Chains A and B, each alone.
Chain A
Amino acid sequence: SQQGEEDPQALSIQEGENATMNCSYKTSINNLQWYRQNSGRGLVHLILIRSNEREKHSGRLRVTLDTSKKSSSLLITASRAADTASYFCATDANEETSGSRLTFGEGTQLTVNP
């Protein structure tokens, strides 16, 4: 089964620096999504990139997708202390099903130090 695997597991940076997180998966996908989770809270959707897209931007977020390498990266530019959270990639199976079948990775814990 496909599964997103994030790398690194933990990342600690200073405010103002850029943070890059990577995700690898195993099988073909419809789309790949990134989510953020503050400690003990629910997940919040950040950005979705479709399998025919290579790059997408949303504010300080930049996501790339390389389907030949089955990998994606999430870049947060000019990080802030409020960006401290866990970040998850999730892959959507390339099949016609009722309901989403997102498969999540274990996440990257990002700490942005003031």
Chain B
Amino acid sequence: ETGVTQTPRHLVMGMTNKKSLKCEQHLGHNAMYWYKQSAKKPLELMFVYSLEERVENNSVPSRFSPECPNSSHLFLHLHTLQPEDSALYLCASSQDGRSTGELFFGEGSRLTVL
């Protein structure tokens, strides 16, 4: 138990579906992140939220839409995805908004786009 919970753990969706990934952290952290992990590729940072404000958007396609309603919750809304978007999506949190801390990861949401 890392203190970061992701749901669902597995998701299969068609290209026309709309779904959401949810992340909740119970650590009292102020920063939350979405990473994408594809086979044979390094983890890719997608979005960073610090104190509920988006501070990074790494040229992610608009079919991925993040939402951070408060410092404990982070969502990734998915719509009209492509098969190449199939990957493990990892949520993480860190204690504060500075660039020096360790990340605490959730177990990930395995997404398959048909």
Contacts and interface: CB of A to CB of B under 8 A. Distances in A.
A40 B56 contact: no
B48 A99 contact: yes
Question: How many A residues touch the partner, as a band?
Answer: 20 to 34
A98 to B, nearest CB: 4
A43 interface: yes
Contacts of B106: 42
Most B-side CB within 10 Å, residue of A30, A31, A102: A102
A45 B94 contact: no
Interface in B27-57: 31, 33, 40-43, 45, 48-51, 53, 55-56
Nearest to B94: A100
B2 A40 contact: no
Most B-side CB within 10 Å, residue of A95, A99, A105: A99
B47 to A, nearest CB: 10
Nearest to B43: A104
A42 B4 contact: yes
Nearest to A93: B99
B100 interface: yes
Contacts of B43: 43, 88, 104
Interface residues of B, number: 34
A33 interface: yes
Contact of A96 (B45, B56, B99): B99
Contact of A98 (B40, B50, B110): B50
Interface string A25-63: 000001101010000111111001000000000000000
A46 to B, nearest CB: 9
A72 interface: no
Contacts of B33: 99-100
Interface of A: 3, 30-31, 33, 35, 40-45, 48, 88, 90, 92-93, 95-107
10 closest Cβ contacts across the A-B interface? A42-B105, A99-B48, A98-B50, A104-B43, A98-B97, A99-B50, A45-B102, A98-B55, A43-B105, A99-B31
8 contacts: A3-B42, A30-B99, A35-B103, A43-B105, A97-B99, A99-B55, A101-B45, A104-B43
